[in-house]
Amino acid sequence: MDLHIHSIYSDGQWTPEQIIQTAKEEQVTVISITDHDAIEGYKRGKPLAAKEGIHLIPGIELNTDGELGELHILGYLFDPDRPKLTAHVAWRQEERVKWGREIIENLCKLDYPITLEACLDRAGEGVLVRTHIAEELAAAGYFETAGEAYDTLLKKGKPAYAERAAFSAADAIQLIHDAGGLAFLAHPGAYEFEVPLEELVAHGLDGIEVYHSKHTEQDIRKWKESAESCQLLISGGSDFHGPTSRNPYPIGSVGIGREVTVADWGRRMLTL
């Protein structure tokens, strides 16, 4: 099982077809393509997954910001054709281009001249994300790696960062619920601030991504205990973005506890 994978429809390097074929080769029978603010990877992959005997469940990773902080909320088992969800995805794609343009304007003022067009070319069929901008900065020779460019200039609070259009974690949870799905906090051990778990639970959070490629054993213990104490569901995944990406951890490489079962999630959905 691997419930956190990115494709070319956000900032991943592989097509849905490559992801599904690799999952089959590695005998990973349950997966989710969780692209940032995009569901095209799921839609493209669904027919092939069915043909190959892979259970591909609907997934998305919603990027949020607001009073609860810059959090990522994973959505699962939603209806991908719900009007509110599809409208949000379309809006977010347009908003990301405007956001990217503002970041690039900031970069140019800082003497890192790159173009929006080059970054959009890197995004290809997917939505524009800061990783694409970081890759362009590295390709232009300003940094040795995209990760260095991202950490130096593009993270929140760094010189080229631009504020995003308002969309909070509470908004993300509500959007996922409106589409009939379950909302999970992504990679809680990766945030550089204290996660406001009680507030997220109050807004209807359904689960926590306890098992993640960048979680230490201590992280896993902490967030498993948090999930159990708050009576939340548990998920996990590699967060695979591609073999030469900043998240190269292979599909199926994260050991996920036996308590993670999509069947249990389905039963929980009936109570929403």
Q: What is the mean pLDDT of residues 87-115?
A: 96
Shortest CA distance to 127 belongs to which of 201, 254, 39, 215? 39
The verdict on residue 128 lying in a domain is no
The verdict on residue 171 lying in a domain is yes
Shortest CA distance to 132 belongs to which of 256, 43, 11? 11
The share of the chain scoring above pLDDT 70, in percent, equals 97
Beta pairing partners, 161? none
Based on the number of CB atoms within 10 Å of its own CB, is 250 exposed (0-12), middle (13-18) or buried (19 or more)? middle
First to last CA, the chain: 24
Residue type, 197: L
263 pLDDT above the threshold of 90: no
Quick check: helix, strand or coil at residue 144? coil
Contact status, residue 8 vs residue 15, Cβ threshold 8 Å: yes
Please, which pLDDT band fits residue 265 given cuts at 50, 70 and 90? confident
Domain residues for the domain of 12 are: 2-87+165-269
Please, which pLDDT band fits residue 270 given cuts at 50, 70 and 90? low
Task: Give every CB contact of residue 217 below 8 A, 6+ residues apart in sequence.
Answer: none
The verdict on residue 101 lying in a domain is no
| Residue 21, phi then psi, degrees to nearest 5 | -65, -40
CA torsion through residues 161, 164, 170, 172, sign:
negative
The verdict on residue 226 lying in a domain is yes
Q: What is the mean pLDDT of residues 130-147?
A: 96
237 pLDDT above the threshold of 90: yes
State how far the Cα of 20 lies from the Cα of 35, in Å rounded to an integer. Answer: 15
The verdict on residue 224 lying in a domain is yes
Q: What is the mean pLDDT of residues 56-85?
A: 95
The verdict on residue 23 lying in a domain is yes
Mean of the per-residue pLDDT values for the chain?
A: 94
Max Cα distance, the chain (Å): 54
The verdict on residue 160 lying in a domain is no
The verdict on residue 60 lying in a domain is yes
Based on the number of CB atoms within 10 Å of its own CB, is 255 exposed (0-12), middle (13-18) or buried (19 or more)? exposed
Which CATH number does the domain housing residue 83 bear? 3.20.20.140
Q: What is the mean pLDDT of residues 61-75?
A: 93
Based on the number of CB atoms within 10 Å of its own CB, is 271 exposed (0-12), middle (13-18) or buried (19 or more)? exposed
Domains contained in the chain, number: 1
Q: What is the mean pLDDT of residues 216-241?
A: 96
pLDDT in tens, 171-228: 999 999 999 999 999 999 999 899 999 999 999 999 999 999 999 999 999 999 999 9
Q: What is the pLDDT at residue 272?
A: 44
Residue with tokens 């493209």: 44
pLDDT in tens, 21-57: 999 999 999 999 999 999 999 999 999 999 999 999 9
CA torsion through residues 209, 206, 191, 220, sign:
negative
pLDDT in tens, 145-174: 999 999 999 998 999 999 888 899 999 999
